[in-house]
């Protein structure tokens, strides 16, 4: 990430809103930003002036708003941070989705790039570690309500020490799991995990494709590429190779 630009929590919220609007519709105006952030238009104008002064946006009076390269890089970091926190709170700590969304918004402004990097690595480790898996995660989530006893831990240690008896060793997914590129138009699924190149996985997460997200395939191009989907109320277009790296059930 380029040299960090100091931003207030409010300016971070504006920059993230601009990025999401550009991602979804391709154009952004002051009125749309005001509606997304929930403020009056004069407040948006003041924020845009501050962001422009920091070299993060381009905006002429009464014109459209665009991000500079530095602004896009910063906004992508903010979105990754937001979705990573939601995923951690919801999928690892078992927090209710609405509460996870609210708390992520409260925590995210204090998370540094290095802390985000390590959080993403932790999420990826939990997802990919051969001693983990869905069953392991389900049992861990159950522990938030019912702490393990010494006997439970001893049994798990015994399974790990004898790999062939480890019930958590497989990452093959459930019997009903598949990949997004195999779903037909009109079919729905829930994201289990993302695989592939780290840069592509980060971009997909920025688009809202995180574990637990509900997806519907809307249509396929004549040759099956790209694939148009709906996720979190947004309409997105994915290359087939990107969809092939998204496990769903």
Across-strand partners of 234? 231
**pLDDT, tens only, 118-177:** 888 888 777 766 555 666 677 777 777 776 655 555 555 544 444 443 333 344 445 568
Nearest residue to 202 (alpha-carbon basis) of 103, 138, 113: 113
Give the count of beta carbons closer than 10 Å to the beta carbon of residue 192.
18
**pLDDT, tens only, 198-211:** 777 777 877 778 88
199 upstream amide cis, omega within 30 of 0: no
Q: Where residue 71 falls among pLDDT bands split at 50, 70, 90?
A: very high
Give SS3 for 203. helix
Please give the CATH architecture assigned to the domain spanning 9-74: Orthogonal Bundle (1.10)
Instruction: Give domain 178-248's CATH number out of 2.30.30.90, 1.10.580.10, 2.130.10.10, 2.40.50.60.
Output: 2.30.30.90
Which sequence spans correspond to the domains of the chain? 9-74, 134-165, 178-248
Answer whether 0.85 is exceeded by the pTM: no
């Amino acid at each position: 990430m380029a040299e960090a630009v100091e931003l207030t929590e409010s300016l971070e919220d504006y920059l993230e809103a601009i990025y999401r609007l550009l991602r979804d519709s391709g154009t952004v105006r002051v009125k749309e930003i005001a509606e997304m952030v929930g403020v009056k238009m004069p407040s948006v104008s003041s924020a845009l002036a501050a962001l422009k002064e920091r070299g993060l946006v381009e905006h002429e009076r009464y014109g459209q708003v665009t991000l500079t390269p530095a602004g896009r890089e910063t906004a992508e970091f903010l979105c990754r941070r937001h979705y990573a926190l939601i995923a951690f709170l919801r999928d690892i700590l078992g927090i209710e989705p609405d509460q996870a969304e609210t708390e992520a918004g409260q925590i995210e402004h204090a998370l540094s790039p290095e802390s985000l990097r390590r959080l993403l690595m932790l999420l990826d480790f939990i997802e990919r570690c051969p001693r983990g898996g869905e069953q392991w995660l389900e049992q861990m989530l159950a522990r938030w309500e019912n702490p393990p006893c010494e006997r439970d831990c001893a049994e798990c240690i015994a399974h790990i020490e004898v790999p062939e008896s480890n019930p958590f060793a497989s990452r093959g997914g459930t019997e009903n799991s598949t990949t997004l590129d195999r779903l037909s138009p009109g079919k729905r699924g829930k994201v289990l995990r993302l695989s592939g190149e780290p840069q592509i996985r980060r971009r997909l997460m920025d688009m809202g494709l995180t574990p637990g997200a509900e997806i519907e395939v809307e249509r396929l191009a004549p040759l099956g590429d790209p694939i148009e989907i709906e996720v979190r109320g947004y309409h997105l277009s994915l290359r087939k190779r990107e969809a092939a790296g998204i496990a769903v059930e």
